[in-house]
Amino acid sequence: MEPKWTKENHTALSDFIFVGYADLPVFQVLLFVVFLLIYVSIIIGNGLIVYIIVTDPTLHAPMYFFLKSLAFLEIFYTSVTLPKMLVNFVAQNKTISFVGCAAQIYFMLFLGGTECFLLAAMAYDRYVAICHPLHYKLIMRKELCLGLVTGSLTVNMPVHTGQIYLLFSLPYCGSHEINNFFCDIPPVLELACADTFASDVYMVAASALILMLPFCFIIASYVKIISAILKMPSIEGRKKAFATCSSHLIVVSLFYGSATIVYVSPRSKETLIVNKLLSLSYTILIPMLNPIIYSLRNREVKVSLRKLFRNCHLNCVS
Query: Which tens digits make up the pLDDT trace of 42-51?
Result: 999 999 999 9
**Helices and strands per DSSP (H, E), number in the chain:** 12, 3
Show me where the domains of the chain are located.
4-317
For residue 218, CA distances in Å to 116, 125, 148, 224, 248 come to 10, 11, 14, 10, 10
State the Cα–Cα distance between residues 257 and 112, nearest whole angstrom.
13
Query: CB-based contacts of 177: which residues, under 8 Å, 6+ apart?
Result: 16, 17, 18, 19, 191
Amino acid at 166: L
222: Cβ contacts below 8 Å, ≥ 6 apart: 123, 127, 245, 249
Class of domain 4-317: mainly alpha
Sheet holding 15-18, edge to edge: 95-97, 15-18, 177-178
Cβ(178)–Cβ(188) below 8 Å = yes
Q: What is the pLDDT of residues 21-72, one digit of tens each?
A: 666 667 788 888 999 999 999 999 999 999 999 998 888 899 999 999 999 9
Residue 273's pLDDT band (boundaries 50, 70, 90)?
low
pLDDT at 149 over 80: yes
- Partner residues linked to 178 by β-bridges: 18
Q: Are 78 and 284 in contact (CB under 8 A)?
A: yes
Question: 221-225 long-range contacts, Cβ below 8 Å, gap at least 24?
Answer: 221/120, 221/123, 221/124, 221/126, 221/127, 222/123, 222/127, 222/249, 224/127, 224/131, 225/126, 225/127, 225/130, 225/131
At residue 293, the pLDDT reads 83
* CA–CA distance, 145 with 125 (Å, rounded to integer): 9
User: Has residue 112 got a pLDDT over 70?
Assistant: yes
CA distance 60 to 58: 6
Q: Residue 177 pairs with which residues in a beta bridge?
A: 17
The pLDDT value recorded for residue 1 is: 40
Distance CA 36, CA 85 (A): 10
* pLDDT higher than threshold 50 for residue 11: no
**The pLDDT of residue 270 is above 60:** no
Give CA–CA dist 70/76, Å, rounded. Answer: 10
